[in-house]
Structure 1
């Protein structure tokens, strides 16, 4: 832990980290309204989710680099201002293409909530303490799908997608005011100014980084494929979009339980990799259950365990990701985010084309277990003494 900097308040850190997920889940219920308003197909409307993550990935690398150049506080404030401006423009988009461009700009600005806040937390905490902080935050931000989906559903039902963007503008304006008043600057006075290329080259040669970015992407694709595909599944079953919003409570419960279980396991000194392996197995079992139930309204129930596996795996993956990159946390965090958000965007794009939630989840689970196995074998070989 760095004792020479002002620490961010946990409530503000939680809210900033919740911010991108709230925005994304607010948009999800509006997909049916967008489809109707612009006269596009469901799969075309769902592409907005992949655009969000791809633009978010670009934003992560840009704002992460800005964290090391202009500081964590200024990067965050500018990103929030950019989001508000982009959301206002998107509100008046006359075509679906312009809406996608505007929403992509929103995602670019929203990336500060992830990369800048994680950089600030890594400035303040290290090691097991950082893992516990991520778990505490994970428990708190588990409610973000409830806030986003219920709010987005209510706004969509009462005013269509335009009300959703108005809600985003109001929410972000409040967060900007809070950040102006309380967000500290935690950038160390002495940091290495390595180039983006040199840090990126180092990371791409690091097998541990590849494992982290692929696993983070897989668990995110598994969770967020529900948000991009489920609205149309509910529509096909002739169920109100309001119920889709209420299912957010199921996913939130799973995420909260996963984060709480993770904290308990860490207190008992269970190895992080053991927890990640268990999360991968839970993901596989839950994915098969979703596949078997997806022709009925109850397909959303096994998603609680998909969300639980997410809450178990993510804190352990993210807290150990950049242990060897502390001299350039902003840049390394930006590149890590770029790598896994690009994979998430591509994965969600493919999921939208396939249009089958169960198949998407099963593929994610098989990949997670395969990667975990390869990681274990590689680690075993690397620590085996030479003869």
Structure 2
């Protein structure tokens, strides 16, 4: 029997892609000013990040089923560390966008391979509980990312941010070399991706899961996309925007903790997803009404609570029928929802209205859960 990976290391690995994004968020206004580009152009770096991330997810998921989880993780982290260092030296906005895309491709390994390793090692209720712990870890990442990003942005702009990220990636790479075991089961099938893709594309449950993951992520990342500029309009600094990560982290942690306890008390996944969607909708309406002042952060807590409940319940059950091809199946699922996230954030960047985007995403999540329940399927 293969050794199970350290849950602490798994938490850090699944947190790192979100830290990468949230640490970057406060520097968006600095990038717009330094490279003399519009707010909308600077905002599109987030959608490019997710589109490149989607490509990384499909590549790393397939590679993980062929050369193993450990080697794949180490390769992805190495690419990320190198590309983040390259972003420090970017002479223009286009070069920065390219480095940003390559770094997103590399760090996608932290999402898909970490989830695959957990699915290798756990199943059933144990897997749900483990994903709840992952959700708690993710709840800390906005604090780490946004607060440190705010300070780094004020100290040295985007170059300090990418220099720090490259250093963190090197540390994580060294720890993974020393501590990360191989978890790939002996019966893993490295089948043709095209066959698996066609099978999953015909699976309506996969589409519902992808749409739910995308909706909950856009609920969260729309804030990181539009929040820096919203704070700037309200007369607040990058550091103050970074501190708002504490408020969001409290909400996400509360949602993850509530989810863990409800799972222990036997609440079903459809009920938990319905609760997550309703919280998101109430919070989204509140943000829409209050986004002209800093009070919008209060209903934003409900939005991130919905994220903290929703994401673990989707991801823990999304691939129960594809365990023998967990890496490749995770790649296909990730490709679908990251393309949706990238497209959704591109639209959000063009709309430039946080409240409207949140309401639409919450409604989409709620309708998707309702359709799943009505169809008698587990989302």
TM-score bucket (shorter structure): over 0.9
User: CA shift at 1:297, angstroms?
Assistant: 1.8
2:328 is aligned to 331
1:261 is aligned to 258
1:277 is aligned to 274
Deviations 1:150-187 (A, max 9, x none): 11110000111110001101111110010010000111
Distance 2:294 2:264 in 1: 38
Deviating runs (4+, > 4 A) in structure 1?
none
User: CA shift at 1:375, angstroms?
Assistant: 1.2
2:221 is aligned to 224
1:199 is aligned to 196
1:353 is aligned to 350
1:36 is aligned to 33
Distance 2:88 2:327 in 1: 32
List alignment gaps of at least 5 residues for structure 1.
383-387
User: CA shift at 1:127, angstroms?
Assistant: 1.0
Deviations 1:108-148 (A, max 9, x none): 00001111111000000001110000001211221011000
* Residue 58 of structure 2 is aligned to residue 53 of structure 1: no
2:67 is aligned to 70
* Residue 135 of structure 2 is aligned to residue 145 of structure 1: no
SS of match in other structure, 1:302: helix
SS of match in other structure, 2:90: coil
1:385 is aligned to none
Q: TM-score normalized by structure 1?
A: 0.96
How many aligned residue pairs are there? Answer: 378
What is the correspondence of 1:1-387 to structure 2 with a 5 Å cutoff? 4-379=1-376
User: CA shift at 1:372, angstroms?
Assistant: 1.4
Distance 1:193 1:241 in 2: 46
User: CA shift at 1:91, angstroms?
Assistant: 1.1
Between stretches 189-198 and 284-293, larger displacement belongs to: 189-198
SS of match in other structure, 2:240: helix
SS of match in other structure, 1:301: helix
SS of match in other structure, 1:247: helix
Distance 1:21 1:184 in 2: 23
Distance 1:341 1:299 in 2: 27
SS of match in other structure, 2:157: helix
Do 2:11 and 2:133's aligned partners in 1 also have CA atoms closer than 8 Å? Answer: no
Distance 1:177 1:328 in 2: 28
Cα RMSD of the aligned pairs, angstroms, is 1.0
Distance 1:38 1:193 in 2: 45
Distance 1:303 1:37 in 2: 30
Distance 2:128 2:335 in 1: 22
Distance 1:73 1:291 in 2: 44
User: CA shift at 1:193, angstroms?
Assistant: 2.4
User: CA shift at 1:34, angstroms?
Assistant: 0.4
